[in-house]
A and B are shown apart, each in its own frame.
Chain A
Amino acid sequence: MSFDPVFSFGTVAAAALIGLGFSHAIDGMYPQPRGPAVLTEMVTLAPGSFDHPQPGEFLRDNHPAAAPVAKETIETPLEIMRFQVTASDYDRCVLDGTCKPADANLAGYVPVTGVSFLDAQAYANWLSARTGETWRLPTDVEWAYAAGERFHADIEGGDGDSADPARRWLTQYRTEAALGRKPDPEPRSLGAFGANSKGVADIAGNVWEWTATCYAHATMSSDSTLIASSISNCGVHVVEGFHRTYMSNFIRDGKSGGCAVGTPPDNLGFRLVHERGGFLQAALRRLGLT
């Protein structure tokens, strides 16, 4: 797997003061001060291609199969938050009356946790409206690209044994058990888990991140890794972190979202992608054209 190096400015001076001029004007009309504008450091990743194990569950010849690996391409530079959205950033949205308070009672420069996919989406919409730019959750592919060497796919049970479905369940269970990961529930301050080779911080720490990608059941053609058909369930989204998993949109605490067998995420949070050319889109949105 080869990842292209980060744009040079991505690691050096990507600190971008997100233009909240628009919101400042609004702030002035409220009696209470809202503190400093959202200061979000961004990392810009150069376009590139990489091999990526697909998310979802896969069938070949009517049996569960290992996730196929596909070549994915990021066509345009990808601007993604260096850190996860913080509790204090999220609180601004809450104070604005748009976001629901997060379940976790944390404040300041720690990742916001105890948020669902719906909360993450509400925050992205709020931030887009406040900034007049387009902010959204990354797709599974974008997240994996940004995660680089720290990307972990699903805990894989491998190809199913047509004669013995239990073998795959046991393999998956033992693989997960052998990871020996201990619960680590307390969110740390931003950057505590360090940056990856692309300068993106806290990937695969103890906060799993929501993505915009839906959970899917896919059927592969018997002679290749091509997906012949797929049925997605967008009530469940891909969640990324120490391992990739899937959670219902309304789950805020990964611990209660886990199934009977398996290690659930310690915490649920998110980071956003800033879409280039978002200005035009935002303008269109304001005009009600999207």
Chain B
Amino acid sequence: MLTRREALLGSVLTAAAVAAIGSTPAMAAVTDVAELPREKVTLVAPPFVHAHDQVAKSGPKIVEFTMKIEEKPMVIDADGTQLNAMTYNGSIPGPLMVVHEGDYLELTLINPDTNTLAHNIDFHAATGGLGGGALTLINPGEQVTLRFKATRSGTFVYHCAPGGAMIPWHVVSGMSGAVMVLPRDGLRDEKGKPVRYDRIYYIGENDFYIPRDEQGKFKKYDSAGDNYDDTVKVMRGLVPTHVVFNGNAGSLTGENAMKAKVGETVLIVHSQANRDTRPHLIGGHGDFVWEHGKFGNPPAKDLETWFIRGGSAGAALYAFRQPGVYAYVNHNLIEAVELGATAHFTVDGKWDDDLMMQVEPPKAIAS
């Protein structure tokens, strides 16, 4: 706690410093930032990612994003189970924002008056102010603009954190997403050799806790506020009713399956704001995996399954070598199959018998 005397002393010292050197370094930085070039980026809904340079073409800039918070019912499984969702920009997860290390990310967050709750945003990529949460709390009908410097590279979660019991409830209602801060000179392998990706997909994994009625059927609520008491009871059991990718079991399958070609390198960014997960590409690998998501560390090689800690985002780079249908799952297979955490890739290209072939098809056991 700052005493009145210390506060006064502090201000005296500051005043003295200002007198001595004209301006503080902090003031200088702010002046410089104002002069930086600005780029306005329109976000796209996951699993897609807005166009971006993998290697920065110029010096630091301010990258401007706008997100509108939308509270709305969303269907989260094939049975039509409804979540009173809270979303950044209308999607679960919120969109992936890509900047380079040293850039400034400037977000205008809008909470339209059609919403009923106060929201904010905590960027794990940001420094101070509860990740921005302390400076962004807005009521329905308000908007706020926050700028933070991307001081370290990597994939980082962002999520809503409006205080106390609201925090986990907002997060398990869908309010999370990720930021990817690329090194200015792009990604590098464990030897420091540059690596690039031909495609990027962003997968946000969510654990949902939907209350059930006496018959065991999932309950439906008119609004988010109505479900709070029941939902918290389910949450406290720590057993999710759904574990899904991109907001809905099956959201990345069928017509919406992710696509790639043999020979293409795909970067898969995977975030989980609340709970641990273990992505696995069935029939594939992680050529280079930043399990913690932080590009300042050398990537792990040749992984079969990687671990994404709850409250973090990781990145896996893989060049497809064989055509076919791949399932990308949370390799707790109960969560993958029963609770929903399965996505698909369809991969076109030429089959390589050297990598795999069926030497003999199924037949009666030779006696």
Q: Please name all residues of chain A whose beta carbon is closer than 8 Å to the beta carbon of B324 when the two chains form the complex.
A: 165-166, 169-170
The reply to whether B360 and A62 form a contact with Cβ atoms under 8 Å apart is yes
Chain A residues touching B, range: 20 to 34
- Does B303 count as interface, using CB distance less than 8 angstroms? no
- Does B364 count as interface, using CB distance less than 8 angstroms? yes
Q: Please name all residues of chain B whose beta carbon is closer than 8 Å to the beta carbon of A12 when the two chains form the complex.
A: none
Q: Is the interface of B mostly helix, strand, loop or mixed?
A: loop
Interface residues of A (CB under 8 A from B): 59, 62-64, 105, 163-167, 169-170, 173-174, 176-178, 180, 183, 185-186, 217, 219, 229, 231, 255-256, 260-261, 263, 266
Q: Please list 25 pairs of residues, one from A and one from B, whose beta carbons are closer than 8 Å in the complex, sorted by A's number.
A: A62-B358, A62-B360, A63-B361, A64-B361, A105-B215, A164-B323, A166-B325, A166-B351, A167-B351, A169-B325, A170-B324, A173-B344, A173-B346, A174-B346, A177-B255, A183-B79, A185-B78, A217-B362, A219-B363, A229-B364, A231-B362, A256-B338, A260-B342, A261-B327, A266-B78
- Does B312 count as interface, using CB distance less than 8 angstroms? no
- Does B232 count as interface, using CB distance less than 8 angstroms? no
Whole-angstrom CA separation of A62 from B323 in the bound complex: 20
Contacting A at CB under 8 A, from B135-151, are: none
Interface residues of B (CB under 8 A from A): 78-80, 215-217, 250, 253-255, 257, 282, 322-325, 327, 329, 337-338, 342, 344, 346-351, 353, 358, 360-364
Q: Is the interface of A mostly helix, strand, loop or mixed?
A: mixed
B322 closest partner in A (C-beta): A166
Whole-angstrom CA separation of A59 from B363 in the bound complex: 10
- Shortest CB distance B335–A (Å): 13
The reply to whether B361 and A260 form a contact with Cβ atoms under 8 Å apart is no
- List 15 extra interface pairs beyond A166-B323, A173-B325, A185-B79, CB under 8 A: A62-B361, A105-B215, A165-B324, A166-B324, A166-B325, A167-B351, A169-B324, A170-B346, A170-B348, A174-B346, A177-B257, A183-B79, A255-B78, A260-B337, A261-B344
B75 closest partner in A (C-beta): A183
Q: Please name all residues of chain A whose beta carbon is closer than 8 Å to the beta carbon of B361 when the two chains form the complex.
A: 59, 62-64
The reply to whether A183 and B80 form a contact with Cβ atoms under 8 Å apart is yes
Instruction: Out of A166, A169, A263, name the residue touching B254 (CB < 8 Å).
Output: A263
The reply to whether B338 and A180 form a contact with Cβ atoms under 8 Å apart is no
